[in-house]
Amino acid sequence: MSDHMYDVIVIGAGPVGENVADRVVQGGLSAAIVERELVGGECSYWACMPTKALLRSTAALRAARQVSGSREAVTGGVDVAAVLRRRDSFASHWKDDGQVSWLDSAGIKLYRGQGRISSTRVVEVTDESGRVTSLTARHAVVVATGSAALLPDLPGLREARPWSSREAAAATTVPGRLAIIGGGVVASEMATAFAALGSAVTLMARDGVLPLAEPHAGVQVTESLREAGVSVRLGAEAGAVKRDGDGTVHITLTTGEVVEADEVLVAVGRTPNTQDIGLDAVGLTPGDWLTVDDTLRVIGDDGELLADGWLYAAGDVNRRVLLTHQGKYQARAVGDAIVARAQGEAVDDSQWGRHVATADERAVPQVIFTEPEIASVGLTAAAAEAAGIRIRVVDYDLGAIAGSALHAEGYRGHARMVVDEDRKVIVGFTLVGPDVAELLHAATIAVVGEVSIDRLWHAVPAYPTVSEVWLRLLEAYGR
């Protein structure tokens, strides 16, 4: 066993881990990063990038068909092989040479293998040959191991070799029939993608489609999926799964009905990648999500900081928000906090301080790349009420905006603004419609900046754009 010392050791070289390491190196500290798979993580190879690449080609074709002039130029359908090639390029063909080169240029040392915490500030890395390297951190160890697809305990499911989000994102062929268990973001996006690529899709959404979004958003996506030929089975619950010798998958619902498919995708949630990283060595439970304070220091089962606060957890693994951009936001905060503490500086842990991840609570932006897109930030109306906020909800037909009519013929969409009536600020904003993702950041700034309704009257939207919805919402709200 060989020993090496660094200021900071990061377990997990996904986008969160990379950003933590980069941040501390920029702050003058040394950093090592440990990765057992591909540098770049889930988002680069099996999630954000390849899945959005799968969705984009068909979305562009659909957009062209919604505008006279371009509609007439469309003479064929999507080229599936070309879509998959484009997807492969965005996944870097599942090679991490470019990411490894970036680590080298950033001055971050990479150790490949399984990283396990063995004692205070010590991480042991076991490589493919079984060789163990011991790394010691002067200041901090950061767990950024992310999450994996949750596989429920259904009879026959594991034996049926189901797809998770990984297999769906990296599929080399489009199945003739695809069954999807789940109704959340991954399930809805992959139903959208594979239906557009030619699969006969059955979506079994026990709890509804996008149940955590504003209700009208889930309704619009459900209608759109059905228009695209997807069999959306609301309330359907899988009871057992079996794959025949010829490859056919049989999903038996709790009602006794059987759904047949060529592949089954399970998208019912995530589980933390903490089973084999040595949590038991420091009094934590392997396989658990990690609880953290606002500067991302790990809190033990007793509610107190672990030891002297040397262990941090950023990204999916702390279960605050399972989104890449929020994980990278956490990475910046935790990196700065580690540098400040290492250099004996004060840590700004005020509400919007530099070293905290408070936006995880009430200012999270998210885009769901279904048809139509859903772009949201902050709280839904139901969540705001549950938080005890006295609210007023303002809705507007996005299709009634002049810019929307120019954007696409027959544009259908909806905008909702949730206002805290006591403070007169927006606490939630949801847009549903074609290409609304690009409108989201204005709402994010309004929510994070707590811009007053009175002040927003002076933020004049350009005409004719879809952003004019801001004016219409304010008019509907009134002075």
**Using CA atoms, how far apart are residues 392 and 414, in angstroms rounded to an integer?**
17
pLDDT at site 351: 85
Would you say residue 447 lies in a domain?
A: yes
Domain co-membership, 7 together with 98: yes
Domain tally, the chain: 3
pLDDT tens track for 245-288: 999 999 999 999 999 999 999 999 999 999 999 999 999 999 99
**Using CA atoms, how far apart are residues 411 and 422, in angstroms rounded to an integer?**
35
In which domain, by residue range, is 303 found? Answer: 2-45+91-148+271-359
Using an 8 Å Cβ cutoff, are 377 and 364 in contact?
yes
Domain co-membership, 462 together with 393: yes
Which stretches of 340-421 are assigned E, i.e. beta strand? 365-368, 373-378, 391-397, 414-420
Mean pLDDT of the chain: 96
Q: Answer with the one of 330, 359, 388 that is the final residue of a domain.
A: 359
Is pLDDT at 454 greater than 80 in this prediction?
yes
Domain co-membership, 140 together with 284: yes
Report which residue type is found at 332.
R
Q: Answer with the one of 310, 331, 359 that is the final residue of a domain.
A: 359
CATH number at residue 185: 3.50.50.60
Would you say residue 171 lies in a domain?
A: yes
**Using CA atoms, how far apart are residues 222 and 238, in angstroms rounded to an integer?**
19
For residue 92, the cross-strand partners are none
Q: Model pTM?
A: 0.94
Share of the chain above pLDDT 90, in %: 96
Can you tell me the mean pLDDT for 419-428?
A: 98
Is pLDDT at 138 greater than 70 in this prediction?
yes
Can you tell me the mean pLDDT for 150-156?
A: 96
Q: Is the peptide bond before 464 cis (omega within 30 degrees of 0)?
A: yes
**Using CA atoms, how far apart are residues 188 and 239, in angstroms rounded to an integer?**
21
Domain co-membership, 318 together with 418: no
DSSP state of 437: G
Can you tell me the mean pLDDT for 215-243?
A: 97
pLDDT at site 2: 53
Domain co-membership, 329 together with 251: no
User: In this structure, how many other beta carbons lie within 10 angstroms of the beta carbon of residue 308?
Assistant: 9
